[in-house]
Amino acid sequence: MDKELFDYTAQKVDELLAASSSSEGTLKAAQTWKDAVAGGIDDEALDAQTKLLLDALDEHHTTIDEVIAFASGPARELFGEEAAGQLLVHQQERKAEGARYCDCAACTAAQELLARHGRPVL
């Protein structure tokens, strides 16, 4: 992996780790990648760790309909009626504009990282 792609990947991993919306699986995959590269690994090991990270992210595509369902139900208890209502309206507007996936910080970073590595979310 060239330095530019490595630096981009490291930046997105940091974004995933900082995002409060990251799932446990995403956090684990991102932290595992970060720990592996912090220990100084060769190119082959880096490629293997990056593949594991991307495979984990590839399994977690939150669709716009899933976000709308979340905002309509569980988000009310987690965030309160007002915040959940704002999330619901925002996601319904995005869906009307043709959005297909969640736009939270974690999903955005994951989608950008996958696309940069040639695995765009379709």
pTM above 0.85, yes or no: yes
| Residue 114 confidence class, pLDDT cut points 50, 70, 90 | very high
Q: Where are the domains of the chain?
A: 1-60
Three-class secondary structure assignment of the chain? CCHHHHHHHHHHHHHHHHCCCCCHHHHHHHHHHHHHHHCCCCHHHHHHHHHHHHHHHHCCCCEHHHHHHHHHCHHHHHHCHHHHHHHHHHHHHHHHCCCCECCCHHHHHHHHHHHHCCCCCC
| Residue 43 confidence class, pLDDT cut points 50, 70, 90 | very high
Summary mean pLDDT of the chain:
94
Selected residue with higher pLDDT from 112 and 60: 112
Report whether pLDDT(32) > 90: yes
